[in-house]
Structure 1
Amino acid sequence: MDFKALGYFYEVARLGSFTRAAEFLNLAQPAVSMAVKRLEQSLELNLFHRHERQISLTTEGERLYQQAGKILQAMADAELEMEELRGLERGVVQLGTPSMLGSYHFPPIIMAFKHKYPNLMFSVYEGGAWQLQQMLEKGELDLAVIEAEEVPDNIEARTILREEMRVVVPLDHPFATRTSVPVEDFLREDLVIFRKGYFHRKVLDRMAEEAGIEPRINVETNLLPLIRTIVKQGFAISTLLNMAVENDPELVTVSFDPPIWLDLCIAWRKDGYLSRANQAFVDFVLQNVKVE
């Protein structure tokens, strides 16, 4: 099998278009079309239904597409491993992290790691915990920080952080003088909250479902500075990890009743090859992070 042609086929199937695949691969469309046609001829199968300007996968094409991603990822992993055996390290730590941890938890860890390994480079991707888990499973990320709950079987995960989710209010809010806030009281307030896909939103949705209350979400945003500003000005309250607001004198954080704790893990694919740089970062984090 021509693995280059298999890669072209995979992108055409993924993007649903020879034109878009050619643009993504930075190739001329006829070159992509001819390579896929040769692949079909070598397999003696039709992989696409071609209807004027539209295409769709045949049954055989669907089966090959399911396997192609795994094959191509395995090839990339093998190439990286062989390079490192020859002493040609990639030298890049690729980490996907939720925005709050990327802003408040990881900077000192990354700086300490860089002090120990000054020649390694970091590539940090910000996203929701669910999005990061999906990217990790697809091989689009090497490492990601995900929730400890419901880790899939194909993912290896180690807990690195246990943090309390806190009610966040302005100084003059009635909740500011309480020692704790029942979930039901919180859900009946005007809320500014993260969008779907972020662990904060998942916590809120779970709280609302268990309480049987429709939350009053006034603003959805993933921008932490905006959330803090909205809360400070009294337009809504929120729930955040304590690390994001503990040093802000204009905000008060209060525990839920009962307290809500969140466990987060650093994770990677069990069947993927972890480069020396990524493995070094995992080892460093696990050696230097204490989970109480």
Structure 2
Amino acid sequence: MLETSQLQTLVAVARAESFSRAAEDLNVTQSAISQSVKNLENKIGVKAFKRTGKKVVLTQEGERLYELAQNFLGEMDEALTEIKDNKDEMKGRIRIGTLTGVGKSWLAQELLNFALKEDGLSIHISLGFQEDLIRSFEENKIDFLVLPEGAVPKSGEKLLLSEEAVTLVFPKGNPFNITKNTSLEELTRMPTVLFEQGDKLYQNWCLAKYGKKPKKVNTRFSVNSHGNMLQAVKNGLGVAVVPNHVLKRWHYKDDIETLGKAFEVSHDRFYIVYHKDATDLVRIRKTIEMLTKEQNPFL
């Protein structure tokens, strides 16, 4: 494998047509130039230069290598300049990973709006399972993650983003006559829409509001999608407990009712996880600042 310094020497000698002048251009000794050319020629197995009078000129093989070296070094200079400029400007690529639910209901929309304002950015969002996301992050294929506390990896720097709140929702018009004084026993007799059997959000909401979890729930409909749960509630199938950030961004949220702020319950903390030196890049630092601009985006 040829070294970049050898290609630089080849180009310098070809342009100067002299080992001594190439040494001056590169600010090295003539012997260093001679040794670099010798090592290059040993690697490629042919002569790159020949002497014509007082000049040193390229052989046919050297000319071909010279063209390739010029292109390579030119592209490398452009890339290094771009990387240096992008470090201090809102330019370049940002790669973000999060869970599918949070990505669809909040993060993707936030980053869509951000991309519209920052036309120098190329934003890539990965939605998936925490194990796959963490692996990609540790392999430096993702710049930062947005994950709930229980999914945060040991690697990386961590920044608290917010706490997720959940709330009880019911169809518009309150056909089940839910009030602030509704008891747990009354609630569990009502038809209920769950994320899954043993729905943790529903169970934890009841624990926070009533001091205990229900032993039995009148499950009318179960689907592992908060959007579809809200659709079921809208259609009158029952009551449900869903994350606030999902409800806020749901197209038909005006067709759903809640018991207000006092009946919202904190459920989970979300963190931004990033590589230690990532915030040296302006685009990463500004993106994190944008995501944390609201004190509680999930409430």
TM (normalized to structure 2)? 0.50
2:269 pairs with 1:268: no
Written as runs of structure 1 = structure 2, the 5 A alignment for 1:180-219 is 185-195=186-196, 201-206=199-204, 210-211=212-213, 213-219=215-221
Aligned residues: 202
2:141 pairs with 1:143: no
Shift of 1:187: 4.4
CA distance 1:180–1:285, change in 2 (3 Å):
farther
Shift of 1:289: 1.9
Worse-matched range after superposition: 170-179 or 270-279: 270-279
Q: CA RMSD in A?
A: 4.2
Matched to 1:241, the amino acid is P
- Alpha carbons 2:145, 2:274 under 8 Å: kept: no
Written as runs of structure 1 = structure 2, the 5 A alignment for 1:1-292 is 86-87=83-84, 91-99=93-101, 102-104=104-106, 107=109, 109-127=110-128, 131-132=129-130, 134-139=131-136, 141-148=142-149, 151=152, 153-154=154-155, 156-173=157-174, 177-179=178-180, 185-195=186-196, 201-206=199-204, 210-211=212-213, 213-245=215-247, 248-254=253-259, 259-268=264-273, 276=281, 277-286=283-292, 288-291=293-296
CA distance 1:281–1:187, change in 2 (3 Å):
farther
2:69 corresponds to which residue? none
Unaligned runs of 5+ in 1: 1-81
- Alpha carbons 1:167, 1:253 under 8 Å: kept: yes
Worse-matched range after superposition: 201-210 or 169-178: 201-210
TM (normalized to structure 1)? 0.51
SS of equivalent residue, structure 1 residue 213: coil
- The CA distance in 2 between the partners of 1:84 and 1:152, in whole Å, is 34
SS of equivalent residue, structure 1 residue 91: strand
- Alpha carbons 2:191, 2:220 under 8 Å: kept: yes
- Alpha carbons 1:157, 1:265 under 8 Å: kept: no
- The CA distance in 2 between the partners of 1:105 and 1:290, in whole Å, is 15
State percent identity of aligned pairs: 14
- The CA distance in 2 between the partners of 1:263 and 1:163, in whole Å, is 5
CA distance 1:182–1:114, change in 2 (3 Å):
farther
Specify the structure having the higher radius of gyration (Cα): 2
- The CA distance in 2 between the partners of 1:206 and 1:177, in whole Å, is 19
CA distance 1:120–1:257, change in 2 (3 Å):
closer
